[in-house]
Amino acid sequence: MASLLFFLIFASCLVAQSQAPSPAATDDSPNMDRILGVIPNYLTVEDSTKGMAPLTVKQKFRLFARETFDPFTAGAAAAGAALSQVGNDNPKYGEGAGPYGKRFGAAVADITTQNFFSDAMLASLLHEDPRYFRRGPEFGMWYRVGYALSRVVVTRTDAGKNTINYSGMLGMGMGIALSNAYYPEDSVNGREVGSRFGTSLAASALSNLLPEFWPDIHQRFFHHESRTPPPSADPRRR
């Protein structure tokens, strides 16, 4: 997963350097609900310059459910459990089919609880917006990289102002704390919990680069084909 993220970062840099910023570049962009046609992208606001109504509590819970119970999420949990199984890494359930099932269940529970606490419960209680507000190609590439990485600690309130991302960080911490109830004893200690929190923060920050730059990548490598007009019929053949 990390290698894929770094590859996409590199590709994004190439796109940002080779494509001149143009407000019209995203005017006819297709629906971006999925990155690469697979990865859910429900929490991204493509054009943050437009006025956006705040999400209601019901809408925040719906977004949580939509991203959490997407088939890709289950696939990502299965892949993460498989990687953990190979080296008997955390959570240290052991080897074999039974421990793999426990790892898969733990991965699903981790994703579900962190998303619930962050994007649904705390975002509603603290009046914070769980969405990612994309900057777009009118901003410089490195500014966009810095902005995307910073969103793990900065977010928007429902009123549209920047604030510390309490819902994101506290929700992440609450999910990790809850995981201590079902993780094996060998994986529950101060060092392991701190490592999990740091890894989750880093993964969350890096994952913001995908929704920030995916429309640029799509525009550069895929969308040009849809702009080619179909050949007109020759009137002489009528």
Instruction: Give me the pLDDT at residue 97, please.
Output: 82
Quick one: pLDDT band at residue 111, thresholds 50, 70, 90? very high
Query: Is the CB of residue 57 less than 8 Å from the CB of residue 124?
Result: yes
Instruction: Give me the pLDDT at residue 231, please.
Output: 54
Instruction: Give me the pLDDT at residue 193, please.
Output: 86
Quick one: pLDDT band at residue 8, thresholds 50, 70, 90? very low
pLDDT at 90 over 90: no
Quick one: pLDDT band at residue 221, thresholds 50, 70, 90? confident
User: Which residues in 15-32 are b (16+ Cβ under 10 Å) and which e?
Assistant: bbeeeeeeeebbeeeeeb
- CA distances, 101 to each of 95, 114, 115 (Å): 10, 20, 21
The residues near 72 (Cβ < 8 Å, ≥ 6 apart) are: 38, 39, 40
Whole-model pTM: value is: 0.77
* Identity of the residue numbered 214: W
pLDDT tens digits for 139-174? Answer: 999 999 999 999 999 999 999 999 999 999 999 999
Quick one: pLDDT band at residue 232, thresholds 50, 70, 90? low
- CA distances, 171 to each of 59, 91, 130, 149, 214 (Å): 18, 20, 11, 18, 26
Look at 122 and 39; give whichever has higher pLDDT.
Answer: 122
Q: Of 221, 206, 208, which is closest to residue 1 (Cα–Cα)? A: 206
Helix (H, G, I), strand (E, B) or coil at 40: strand
Half-sphere exposure of 183 (CA within 13 A, CB side): 20
| DSSP 8-state symbol, 154 | E
Instruction: Give me the pLDDT at residue 26, please.
Output: 37
In angstroms, the CA 196 to CA 234 distance is: 64
